[in-house]
Amino acid sequence: MLRRALAVGIGIVAVAAAAWWLAGRGESADPAVAAASPSPALLAVDGLAGLPTSVAELPSADQEAFRSLLSGLRGTPVVVNLWASWCEPCLREMPMLAEAARTNPDVQFLGVDTLDSRDGAERFIAEQAVPFPSLFDPDAVIRTDLASFGLPVTVFIDAQGRRIAKVDGELSQEILDEHLSAIAG
């Protein structure tokens, strides 16, 4: 009991310290709102130049590459879904997200494979017929940058680059439809 209380206390202190550090830098913890130099073309960061050209490409990305990509997508509503091949809730919600991506061509869906292996990710993409590109984030730096700790995580960003909603955990069809309407409507 004492160990559990100590672990929870340490976790709370770590989250508070991270929030304090981010606030002290004067930067937003939200990559969708973080100041990025506007550019008509996406910057090449860590080999990532714009959206991956295919769903099988799965380029590695860090926080800066992710922020640059989101900045370059301004003008388009975006749904970012963090997933992993070993994540059961991710497996359950992916068919719904795949269908939403197919039926909402004006919304850019982007996956972020988190804490996973490339083999597992590639197998998941093929088996689930994921129609949208994903980034590879084996160390969960993007997830941490989004102030999330579990999987799945889905972020809804409007065309102006503002984060409208973040859902930690498995999506329902109702929640997905509600947030898609908010960013695309």
Q: To the nearest whole number, what is the mean pLDDT of the chain?
A: 79
**Does a cis peptide bond (omega within 30 degrees of 0) precede residue 89?**
no
Q: Which helix (H) or strand (E) holds 49?
A: strand 48-49
Quick one: pLDDT band at residue 28, thresholds 50, 70, 90? very low
Quick one: pLDDT band at residue 160, thresholds 50, 70, 90? very high
Residue 20 in this model has a pLDDT that exceeds 80: no
Q: Is 61 exposed, middle or buried (0-12, 13-18, 19+ CB in 10 A)?
A: buried
Tell me the two tokens of residue 97. Answer: 């997200």
User: Distance between CA 26 and CA 70 in Å, rounded?
Assistant: 20
Residue 18 in this model has a pLDDT that exceeds 60: no
Residue 23 in this model has a pLDDT that exceeds 50: no
Domain boundary assignment for the chain:
1-29, 31-184
CATH of domain 31-184: 3.40.30.10
Q: What is the pLDDT of residue 52?
A: 79
User: Distance between CA 33 and CA 41 in Å, rounded?
Assistant: 18
Q: What is the pLDDT of residue 157?
A: 97
User: Distance between CA 8 and CA 81 in Å, rounded?
Assistant: 27
Q: What is the pLDDT of residue 49?
A: 42
pTM, 2 dp: 0.73
Please write the tens of the pLDDT for every residue from 168-184: 999 999 999 999 999 99
Question: For 49-53, 72-76, 117-121, 132-136, which range has the lowest pLDDT when averaged over its residues?
Answer: 49-53
Query: Which residues have a Cβ under 8 Å from the Cβ of 180 and sit 6 or more positions away?
Result: 79, 100, 104, 107, 156
**Does a cis peptide bond (omega within 30 degrees of 0) precede residue 152?**
yes
Residue 117 in this model has a pLDDT that exceeds 60: yes
Tell me the three state secondary structure of residue 3: helix
Tell me the two tokens of residue 140. Answer: 């969960």
Task: Please indicate whether residue 88 or residue 28 has the higher confidence score (pLDDT).
Answer: 88
The phi, psi pair for 21, rounded to 5°, reads: -60, -45
Closest by CA to 154, choosing from 142, 166, 145, 137, is: 166
Please write the tens of the pLDDT for every residue from 66-88: 999 999 999 999 999 999 999 99
